[in-house]
């Protein structure tokens, strides 16, 4: 369902269904939106408040509120039975209106697993098994252990977690919560700091329009734990940043969904309140000019916007996922990898639009219900946000300089080659501003020989066939696919070693990629298809070996 949003996590239910946006001019009714609600950008908002009634009449509905002072946009309610295209045209033609968009719905980006305690392989990978029982490859991690000798973060760095909220009662998160001193020490029910929000002690809840961003889902707390669970305190787990200030901003509900209007308000709030980093593990819908403009305002304020690439196994170069694929200079789009360094089966990718990768499979972190291991680009994004936090604590950089540093110092790995602009985020090399050495476990760096093998194009229904590839005397081999395209989730290619042990299963698109590595000189490749959609299949062009 590529046009529906997710948290870059679990799916929303009820009204709140999709977190990817659409533009005004190209708005599509296929993208989920709140019925009868529209975001209207006004040409002039001077003296707006006294004229809400007049503006409501002018726009043929009820103007509920100004989204933020920065946006110059209002939330308009019309009759839910009206056709969306009619409202877009009629309101858009009003001389007071710059543009109008449906109030799109967004959702979070995780794929929750059964709760299991496991190792924090994303921070330090020694080859241990993750919570799903899969043994990893050593040093496929963000290189946190060496980085911590240089920087463990600072409370001066504020990371706005724009999500389902943050449970600030969790013992590992409480010490690292951002606090609004004026409200914390002020009077209940009073806007003590005059910022337009009452009792926003730890952030704000735009989903329920109150000052308490308490997490009633778990997603935002899970992301927060990876960013900044308190370190070196002798208990629980640790985030990438031992010390940081986590600003809790809730616009996604307990069901995991939120609206375009509330997303804009959330971003503008974080900008207004001085965040350095915004961590965004959500997406959905199509292009929205209003959302892009709010991210641009964050960029203009010097804030980096880190966003999940999405969990639809899609190529973002071809089918953009928002907000990760907006062309605003402060955005860092993040793909997910597993503990072997392979692109996660669910992760979106893009040779030109996805910037970096990070651990996103069976990631253990904090939730209101205890420690849980979840998967998704939602889980990859906070790894990058945490690395950004310890880097900013160590060195003063602009948001663009920060993005460039993180990309220039990534570790090149096979699973992200041709899948992203750069490689696996590396905290140690980012802090030292050095380039990681070549990964000698990457088949790209091995000897190679031509090897031609192809399926039929397209392959047949109910197809099942095995091939054996051997390089005499090799200790390791991997296959290079010049093209690989199967029906995602249904038609699969399984890779086995000579004993029949499975080393990997692929589905979807993996063009220009090396297969998982097998030990020994023999690989067995088996492809199976179901009885429905038939895609291209694959072309093997070479085999790499050591």
Q: Which residues form the catalytic set? A: 163, 219, 378
Residue from 337, 483, 352 nearest 411 by CA: 337
Rounded Cα gap, residues 267 and 278, in angstroms: 8
Question: β-pairing, 277-280 with 304-308?
Answer: parallel
Nearest to 25 by CA among 90, 83, 89, 97: 89
Question: CA nearest 315: which of 31, 510, 483, 515?
Answer: 510
Backbone angles phi, psi at 416, to 5 degrees: -110, -5
Q: Which pair of tokens denotes residue 121?
A: 């392989």
Question: What ranges make up the beta strands (E) of 78-167?
Answer: 97-108, 111-112, 153-163
Alpha helix locations (H) across 426-501? Answer: 427-432
Closest CA to 259 of 376, 86, 102, 377: 102
What pairing do the DSSP bridges indicate for beta strands 33-42 and 513-514? unpaired
The separation between the first and the last C-alpha atoms of the chain, rounded to the nearest angstrom, is: 40
Could you tell me the two tokens for 269?
């709030």
CA distance 428 to 409: 9
Side-chain half-sphere of 536: how many Cα atoms within 13 Å?
13
């Amino acid at each position: 369902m590529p046009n529906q949003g997710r948290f870059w996590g679990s799916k929303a239910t009820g009204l709140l269904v999709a977190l990817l946006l659409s533009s005004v001019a190209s708005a599509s009714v296929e993208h989920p939106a709140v019925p009868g609600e529209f975001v209207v950008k006004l040409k002039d908002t001077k003296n707006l408040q006294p004229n809400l009634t007049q503006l409501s009449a002018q726009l043929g509905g009820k103007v509920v509120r100004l989204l933020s002072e920065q946006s110059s946009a209002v939330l308009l309610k019309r009759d839910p039975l009206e056709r969306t295209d009619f409202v877009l045209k009629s309101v858009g033609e009003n001389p007071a209106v710059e543009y109008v968009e449906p109030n799109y719905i967004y959702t979070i980006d995780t794929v929750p697993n059964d709760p299991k305690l496991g190792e924090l392989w994303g921070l330090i990978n020694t080859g241990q098994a993750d919570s799903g029982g899969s043994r990893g490859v050593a040093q496929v991690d963000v290189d946190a252990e060496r980085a911590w000798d240089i920087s463990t973060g600072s409370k001066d760095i504020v990371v706005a977690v724009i999500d389902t909220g943050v449970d600030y009662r969790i013992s590992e998160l409480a010490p690292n919560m951002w606090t609004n001193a004026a409200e914390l020490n002020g009077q209940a029910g009073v806007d003590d700091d005059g910022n337009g929000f009452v009792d926003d002690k730890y952030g704000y809840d735009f989903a329920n329009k109150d000052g308490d961003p308490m997490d009633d889902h778990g997603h935002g707390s899970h992301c927060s734990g990876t960013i900044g669970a308190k370190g070196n305190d002798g208990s629980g787990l640790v985030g990438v940043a031992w010390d940081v200030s986590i600003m809790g901003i809730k616009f996604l509900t307990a069901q995991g969904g939120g609206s375009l209007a509330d997303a804009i308000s959330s971003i503008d709030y974080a900008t207004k309140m001085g965040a350095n980093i915004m961590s965004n593990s959500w997406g959905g819908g199509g292009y929205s000019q209003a959302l892009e403009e709010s991210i641009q305002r964050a960029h203009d304020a010097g804030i980096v916007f880190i966003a999940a690439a999405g969990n639809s196994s899609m190529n973002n170069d071809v089918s953009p996922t928002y907000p990760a694929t907006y062309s605003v200079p402060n955005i860092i789009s993040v793909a997910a990898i597993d503990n072997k360094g392979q692109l996660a089966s669910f992760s979106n990718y893009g040779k030109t639009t996805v910037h970096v990768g990070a651990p996103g499979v069976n990631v253990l972190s904090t939730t209101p219900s205890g420690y849980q291991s979840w998967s998704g680009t939602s889980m990859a994004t906070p790894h990058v946000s945490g690395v950004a936090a310890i880097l900013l604590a160590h060195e003063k950089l602009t948001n663009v300089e920060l993005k460039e540093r993180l990309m220039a110092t990534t570790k090149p790995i096979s699973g992200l080659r041709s899948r992203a602009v750069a490689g696996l985020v590396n905290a140690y090399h980012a802090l030292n501003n050095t380039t990681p050495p070549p990964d000698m476990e990457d088949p790209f760096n091995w000897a190679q020989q031509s090897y031609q093998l192809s399926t039929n194009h397209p392959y047949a229904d109910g197809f099942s066939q095995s091939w054996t590839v051997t390089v005499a005397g090799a200790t390791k081999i991997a296959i290079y696919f010049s093209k690989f395209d199967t029906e995602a989730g249904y038609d699969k290619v399984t890779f086995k070693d000579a004993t029949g042990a499975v080393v990997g299963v692929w589905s979807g698109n993996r063009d220009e990629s090396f297969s998982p590595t097998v030990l020994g000189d023999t690989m067995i490749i088996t492809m199976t298809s179901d009885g429905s959609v038939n895609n291209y299949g694959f072309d093997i062009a070479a085999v790499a070996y050591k």
